[in-house]
Chain A
Amino acid sequence: MTVEQTRYVIIGASAACMSAATAIRESDSCGDITVLSMEQEMPYFRPMIPFLISGKKSEPEMSLIGNGPFKEPKIQIRTGTRVTSVDTDNKTVTVGNSDSISYDRLLIASGSNPFIPAEIKKMSAEGVYSLRTLGDAKKIAARSSKTRRAIMLGGGLLNLKTAFALLERGLKVSLVVYSGQVLSQLMEPDDAKLIHKALDRAGLEIITGCDIKKILTDKDGVKGVVLSNEKKVEGEMLLIGKGVSPNVGFLDKSNVSIDRGIVTDEYTAANIKDVYAAGDVALTIDSLTGKKNISGLWTNAVEMGRCAGFNMAGKQTRYCGVAGILNATQVADISFVSMGIVHTKGAGYETHIAETQKAFRKLVFSSDGKRLVGAVFIGDIERAGLYRYLILEKRNIEKIKKQIINHQLHYGHFLQ
């Protein structure tokens, strides 16, 4: 009797895919794993692509296989292969126009794509980009050499990272933000003061309360924009950072249930047998707010992908969801983390704020004061992991609340 090899097919070749493939291999040494990716490149660390723009890292230095937890899990990766549809009745995936691939278990890990506002789409021109892929980074890097000023729309983390890559390259950068502050997803206006100062010091020009009304062009593409307040800004490149939306277009004709992203259960399974989803394409439940959420985090894509891989290989593994906000980064000369529930205006949370010239700490407790539910640290992010642990584990913190508020918390307190 021959042993039937399970045929695993994964759509996407990034964080969720590669950690799923590694997990499948850990539990099933002989199954056949095929990965389909529309990008031309072999898997890479997506969050590193701004370094290709700044010139600090080269493409080979971003490669994923063989680095960190990602081993070479004996898989077949087909790059430059776009999936056009999925037929869950016949258990096949179509690539290109006709080529069809059969699966026993399917993981959809197609991630997300930049969201481009309709008005901007209509005006699109040479030199208008969004940074999501290595391909985008290459285009932006190439255009940078003939750009004096880059104009950026949106004040999220992605745009700030890109802005710094461009500043490091010696470009001037103007960031246009509709709300009054940068990073509005990750903190409240008053919390962001130190970050705004750091951005000023770094030479980033921020224009708040504005939108882009018109894109000005000549034969070489973008040459500037007209803002909603009628002011003109000259620049040879326009970068859009208005968030992302899940890549689910190829599922239009399938029976896979979609609510913005692919709806998944606590075992990362979609509504149809043998179909799983993980990463930026999956709709999950925020473990803190209980609200539906598309994570948009590398860390979550890895964790969820790993769960999906185990489940696909028959090792039941529960996925516990993720907090919508779990970000750490360095912006200019300042470090910050934002974790859990951080928008507190008007809600009944107990908040404690401590501010100095160089550091900001905001701690958010549940209304009964018994649990830590969120934290923003700017400047001093020492031991942030302890706070993250308390937030995600929903621990009763009454006994150590003083230490939490006074910034004295250390691991020993967990043992008491």
Chain B
Amino acid sequence: MTTPKEIFVKIDKCMGCHSCELACALEHSKSKLLYNAISEHPEPKKRIYVEWMSQDSRMPVLCRHCEDAPCMHACISGAISRTEEGVVLTDKDKCIGCWTCVMVCPYGVIGRHMEERKAYRCDRCPDRDVPACVSACPTHALIYETVENFSSNTRKAASKELAAGHGG
């Protein structure tokens, strides 16, 4: 099996443009067309949240699909499980809207769909090759990669910067 990819965040690159949020909500709308999605009811929900860290720093926050996911162990109806690709998914049919997952998520990224009484969060866009938020990010603050490639690329970039710093 090939190693599954994950969504990584490069905090220093986020400009806070909210493109990821829009793309996420659109991908999870009924029509997937901006013009129609705006007037859909219930309104399409985003699963990524751009937050202010300080005056000049922002970052997108989304489900980390934790290794030993607290939400999965805490769920009182068995609705949350991990796929072979490492995606922690909430099965809508099984969710009973008790919000235990909302209470235990240490990232605060599980939302409540009140019209449906179901919990929702990032599903890594099962219908797409690259998740919508990643495709939409103009500054490559969101990266879709395997852990190995992401960390080796990060290491390479860091050594390049270091080398440039020393040389200059």
Contacts and interface: CB of A to CB of B under 8 A. Distances in A.
Interface of A: 19, 45, 47-48, 51, 57, 61-62, 64, 67-70, 298-299, 302-303, 306, 326-330, 335, 337, 339, 381-386, 388-389, 409-413, 415-416
B77 A385 contact: no
B98 interface: yes
17 contacts: A45-B77, A47-B98, A64-B78, A68-B73, A68-B79, A68-B81, A69-B72, A302-B74, A328-B99, A337-B99, A382-B108, A384-B102, A385-B102, A385-B107, A411-B107, A412-B51, A416-B53
A328 B96 contact: no
B52 A412 contact: yes
Interface in B51-88: 51-54, 58-59, 61, 72-81
B19 interface: no
A31 to B, nearest CB: 22
Interface in B18-35: none
B5 interface: no
Nearest to B81: A68
B150 interface: no
Given A329-B99, A388-B103, A411-B109, A67 B117 contact: no
Interface in B98-157: 98-100, 102-112, 117
A68 B110 contact: no
B106 A328 contact: no
A224 B111 CA distance: 43
Given A67-B81, A299-B73, A328 B102 contact: yes
A386 B77 contact: no
A360 B90 CA distance: 28
A381 B105 CA distance: 12
Contact of B105 (A61, A326, A385, A416): A385
A258 to B, nearest CB: 27
Given A410-B49, A410-B51, A330 B98 contact: yes
Contacts of B108: 382-386, 409-411
Contacts of A299: 73-74, 76, 100, 104
A69 B105 CA distance: 16
Contacts of A389: 106
A368 to B, nearest CB: 24
Nearest to A384: B103
Nearest to B62: A411
A134 B125 CA distance: 37
B94 interface: yes
B107 A381 contact: no
B84 to A, nearest CB: 13
Contacts, number: 112
A410 B60 CA distance: 11
Interface of B: 11, 49, 51-54, 58-59, 61, 72-81, 94, 96-100, 102-112, 117
> Which among B58, B59, B78, B102 has the highest number of chain A CB atoms within 10 Å?
B78
B73 A303 contact: yes
B138 to A, nearest CB: 20
Contacts of B81: 67-69
B54 A328 contact: no
A328 B58 CA distance: 30
Given A47-B77, A385-B103, 19 more contacts: A61-B94, A68-B73, A68-B75, A68-B78, A69-B81, A299-B76, A299-B104, A302-B73, A328-B99, A330-B99, A335-B112, A337-B103, A383-B102, A385-B106, A409-B108, A410-B49, A410-B51, A410-B108, A411-B61
Contact of A67 (B51, B53, B94, B97): B94
Nearest to B79: A68
Contacts of B54: 416
A381 B97 contact: no
A-B pairs with the 6 shortest C-beta distances? A67-B78, A383-B108, A68-B78, A385-B105, A328-B103, A47-B76
A9 B129 CA distance: 47
Nearest to A61: B94
Given A68-B81, A328-B102, A410 B61 contact: yes
A298 B107 CA distance: 21
Contacts of B103: 326-328, 337, 339, 381, 384-385, 388
Contacts of A70: 78
Nearest to B117: A330
Contacts of B96: 48, 51, 57
A389 B58 CA distance: 22
Nearest to A47: B76
B59 A412 contact: yes
A69 B108 CA distance: 21
Nearest to B69: A69
A47 to B, nearest CB: 4
Contacts of A47: 76-77, 98
A389 B49 CA distance: 19
A45 B51 CA distance: 36
Contacts of B97: 330
B53 A415 contact: yes
Contacts of B112: 335, 381-382
Nearest to B76: A47
